[in-house]
Amino acid sequence: MRKLVVVTLLFTISMAAVNYAAPKKPDNQSNVNSTKEVKMEKNPQYEITVSQSGNELGKIIIETFPAQAPKHSANFDSLVSIGFYDGTAFHRVIPGFMIQGGDPNTKNFPNDRDKWGMGDPSQTMVPAEFNKGLPNWTHKRGILSAARRGDNINSATSQFFIMHKDSPHLDGQYSIYGQVLEGMDVVDKIATTPRNNRDAPNETITMKIKRIDKENKKK
């Protein structure tokens, strides 16, 4: 990760306050087998090192799509370059749907989980970029997409989500800008970790992200 009525139901925010989030998983959504991923050549690649309670869970390798989603890809790259994501947490995990992270509040207010997912209103918002019809432009397992604020499709900032299962009902509502190349087993670990009634992991799961394709070119 439609009729107007269905979209309205899907994108109801679970918290009373405005929250950056992917829509709720539909109750009747089945786990659909993902289609074969189409790898795009010469795209920026990043390594996400994931840890929980001081123990490394593993690494996720992703690529972004600057040709198809230049604004979202550039925003992500600029945030990685300044270490923005280092120490932030995956604050919303739903098995059979997606994992979400990248909120600065998870790092700035680590002990105040009520703020997690709310985002920082001072962050620059990125307008939607939709590219329907491309082979990898649907919310299938492993896709990287931008969370947004409420029902405003042009309000993405730093928060992102990775699809745990195919969720095509998100297509045309959330901006896809990358995909996982390696490490879906780590995504599985994150998605299935014990969580509370707000879908936050009971034990905080943090990340550290660095760009790796530039490092490889130097070698």
pLDDT tens readout for residues 159-184: 999 999 999 999 999 999 999 999 99
Say how far apart CA 64 and CA 124 lie, in whole Å: 19
How far lies 66's CA from each of 46, 148, 162, in Å?
Answer: 13, 19, 17
List all residues 6 or more positions away from 214 whose beta carbon is below 8 Å from its beta carbon. Answer: none
- The structural domains of the chain, with segments of one domain joined by +, span 42-213
Residue 216 C-alpha from the chain's centroid? 25
CATH 2.40.100.10 fits 42-213, yes or no: yes
33-64 pLDDT, tens digit each: 343 444 545 899 999 999 998 899 999 999 99
